[in-house]
Homo-oligomer: A and B are copies of this chain.
Amino acid sequence: MTAVPGSITDGRALVDEAMRACVDRLDPANRRVIAYHLGWTDADGRPADAGGKALRPALAMLSGRAAGAPPENALPGAVAVEFVHAFSLLHDDIMDGDRTRRHRPAAWTVFGAAAAILAGDALLALSEELLLEQHTRGAHWAAEALTAATQRLISGQALDMGFETRADVTLDECLTMASDKTGALLACASSIGAMLGEAPAELVTALTGYGTEMGLAFQLVDDLLGIWGSPETTGKPVLSDLRARKKSLPVVAALTAGTAESARLAELYAAPGDPAEADLREMAELVEAAGGRAWAEAEADRRVALAAKHVGDVEMDDAVRAEFRDIALFVTARDH
């Protein structure tokens, strides 16, 4: 298993403390749902330790270092991107009817959809509040970028929901969806610390480019794991994306490859009712035989290289540059 880079674990305590202080401002009802959703408590409100890897805050903090700013300066950005991420997961789970999140019951199954909708709204508003209460030019820049990223995240989710009832999704549309739903917020996370540090536009642009490519690579790997990943690491049942007939990137690449396997896969995807276990195994084989797996693996590698090039082409501390590259390699490693 690829080791977790230090930059993901280092600032974790600082970000965690700032997140808790922010959530403490909310009313008790929303606080309860959010503490559970973020993994801080169990369903009964008892302390727990079930949080995610906090990739976005780590990128935000690192981008502050790239701009030469002190850690406190990037902190509101780190918290804000994680809150937007948490908001989107809270609402997506309701919209998609997903009952499990990180090996635990999704928040809406514990507290009800109404409470989960409202808690998501509170997180979204809080993320903006955090940035805007800093009265600097950099904070305005960061808030504007975060709102634009949120809007893309939302339109990506709209596109994704539309895919469910369509048999003619193109690979371009699927890439746009992934770029909106996953890439935009990772691009914002990778540059928000630099914006808060009022870095030159050139650095912010390079970091945004890094995050965009890394985000696509991350989604490609996530989609590969959604088919071939082990339930222990994904937290979802085996072959779960195929079970839900999700139009993920490797699947759409296979569906649009024009092979005999593409046609058979399309047939299985269009069949009514829940797929049988044998059908699920056949679907996975068809995605591979139609070239969907190999394409996704190669495309992920290509995007990681592009991400590395973005941080390679701009002036920053060499240690910071290396950490950006380590993170891209880590989150796209296919051995976890």
For the complex formed, measure the closest distance between the CB of A83 and the CB atoms of chain B, giving whole angstroms.
Answer: 12
**Please, could you name 5 A-B residue pairs with CB atoms under 8 Å apart, sorted by A?**
A95-B118, A113-B113, A118-B161, A128-B128, A132-B140
A140–B162 Cα distance when bound, in Å, is 35
A148 within 8 A of B: yes
B29, B96, B121, B158: the one contacting A91 at CB < 8 Å is: B121
- A147 contacts B118, C-beta separation under 8 Å: no
**Interface of A, helix, strand, loop or mixed by DSSP:** helix
- B117 contacts A95, C-beta separation under 8 Å: yes
Residues of B with C-beta under 8 A to A161: 29, 114-115, 118
A256 within 8 A of B: no
Residues of B with C-beta under 8 A to A128: 128, 143, 147
B27, B87, B132, B144: the one contacting A155 at CB < 8 Å is: B27
A30 within 8 A of B: yes
B113, B117, B125: the one contacting A151 at CB < 8 Å is: B125
* Total number of A residues with any Cβ neighbor in B under 8 Å: 39
The 10 closest A-B pairs by CB, nearest first: A95-B114, A27-B155, A132-B144, A29-B158, A125-B150, A129-B147, A128-B147, A125-B151, A122-B154, A27-B158
Determine how many copies of this chain the complex contains. 2
Output the nearest chain B residue to A136 by Cβ-Cβ distance. Answer: B140
| A:118-149 near B, CB below 8 Å | 118, 120-122, 124-126, 128-129, 132-133, 135, 140, 143-144, 147-148
B29, B122, B148: the one contacting A162 at CB < 8 Å is: B29
For the complex formed, measure the closest distance between the CB of A204 and the CB atoms of chain B, giving whole angstroms.
Answer: 15
A94 within 8 A of B: yes
A26 within 8 A of B: yes
- A118 contacts B27, C-beta separation under 8 Å: no
